[in-house]
């Protein structure tokens, strides 16, 4: 079985699909659901998937790779 991975480019393409379908930017969507609000007509699974992809997309931009490696390898 072939393993598939995603990267920033593939995450961005996926986010664009959600943005086009629901007519809202991923950033605005995430702020909306973070405030406890819902987007009309969006199933729970779709909301969870989009939020998860957006968090993954933002993660590399908030931490440098070196910082992430140091944190991961830091002794307990």
Round to whole Å and give the CA distance between 31 and 51: 10
User: pTM here?
Assistant: 0.72
> Which residue segment(s) compose the domain that 40 sits in?
8-62
Q: Is residue 43 part of a domain?
A: yes
Q: Is residue 76 part of a domain?
A: no
Q: What percent of the chain has pLDDT over 90?
A: 50
Q: Is residue 16 part of a domain?
A: yes
Q: Is residue 14 part of a domain?
A: yes
pLDDT digits (tens, 9 = 90+) for 43-67: 999 999 999 999 988 876 555 666 6
Number of domains in the chain: 1
In DSSP notation, the chain reads -------HHHHHHHHHHHHHHHTS-HHHHHHHHHTT---TT--HHHHHHHHHHHHHHHHHHHS-HHHHHHHHHS--
pLDDT digits (tens, 9 = 90+) for 6-15: 777 888 999 9
């Amino acid at each position: 079985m072939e393993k598939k991975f995603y990267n920033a480019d593939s995450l961005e393409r996926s986010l664009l699909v959600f943005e086009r379908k629901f007519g809202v930017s991923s950033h605005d969507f995430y702020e909306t659901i973070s405030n406890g609000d819902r987007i009309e007509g969006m199933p729970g699974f779709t909301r969870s998937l989009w939020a998860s992809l957006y968090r993954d997309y933002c993660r590399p931009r908030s931490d440098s790779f070196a910082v992430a490696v140091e944190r991961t390898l830091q002794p307990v």
